[in-house]
Amino acid sequence: MDLSQFFKSIIDQDKAAVVICDLQHRIIYMNPAAKSQYAKHGELIGKSLLNCHSEKSNEMIKKAAEWFKESKEHNIIYTFHNEKQNKDVYMAALRSEDGSLIGYYEKHEYRNAETMRFYDFTE
């Protein structure tokens, strides 16, 4: 059984934006939440993530990617908290089965309590 379909479905169902990049900082995948959140910027897949950030942010993104390369134990780093949206943003390493770094992703974690009702099958 090919697990990639399951993993893609997990990411696609996430309500938070997930942006996946290769080691050249090229955006190779965006889940539906990310596409919606960044729609005003047009199609971003295939473009450099570095074109979407400030010079200072680019420096930190590059440092994080280098830190991921230093050790298989370096896998996630907290990048900032957005007060307005009450969310934390992380960069996480993506590794092949042998532990080699193959890319990274940007993950947004919202801190707001869920407003949907438990097991509400009406929607």
Q: What is the pLDDT of residues 45-87, one digit of tens each?
A: 999 999 989 999 999 999 999 999 999 999 999 999 999 999 9
Average pLDDT, the chain: 94
Residue 4, in any domain of the structure = no
Distance in angstroms (rounded) separating the CA atoms of residues 37 and 30: 10
Q: Which helix (H) or strand (E) holds 87?
A: strand 87-95
Residue 122, in any domain of the structure = no
CB-CB contact of 104 with 92 (8 Å): yes
State how far the alpha carbon of 78 is from the alpha carbons of 15, 23, 25, 65, 111, in Å.
Answer: 19, 19, 18, 13, 14
What is the total count of domains within the chain? 1
State how far the alpha carbon of 122 is from the alpha carbons of 14, 90, 118, in Å.
Answer: 20, 33, 11
- Parent domain of 94: 16-110
Q: What is the pLDDT of residues 99-111, one digit of tens each?
A: 999 999 998 899 9
Residue 66, in any domain of the structure = yes
Residue 8, in any domain of the structure = no
